[in-house]
Amino acid sequence: MIVVTVPLGVLPARSIGFQPQLPVSTAAAIDSLVMGFLDEFWFRFDQVVWRDDAFMWTWVDPGDNPFTEWFNLEPVTGEPILLALVGAQPS
């Protein structure tokens, strides 16, 4: 068995070939892969304004708030910085 790891866009583009050919079901699964967007927003504050010292927060049901994942970078940078991730629907 061989494990191949490549960026998501490489497989559907058929940029690499396999010998022997991949099973039809695997090729069909690859053809169904799509990439979406992920935006990062970095927020630097004058001081820490949050009460939780966790490294990451995830909102399971954020409602209208587009920010679903937050990273507290203060423990690793020593600065009051939050990183928020916003994912979009695949295009």
Query: What pLDDT is recorded for position 78?
Result: 93
Determine phi and psi for 77, rounding to 5 degrees: -105, -20
End-to-end C-alpha distance for the chain, whole angstroms: 33
Cβ atoms within 10 Å of 22's Cβ, excluding its own: 14
Alpha-carbon span 82 to 42, nearest angstrom: 6
Q: What is the pTM of this model?
A: 0.59
Query: What pLDDT is recorded for position 90?
Result: 47
Per-residue tens of pLDDT for the chain, all 91 residues: 788 888 888 888 888 888 899 899 988 998 888 777 888 999 999 999 988 778 888 877 767 777 888 999 999 999 999 999 887 664 4
Q: Are 69 and 57 in contact (CB under 8 A)?
A: yes
Alpha-carbon span 55 to 76, nearest angstrom: 9
Which tokens go with 25?
Answer: 């079901």
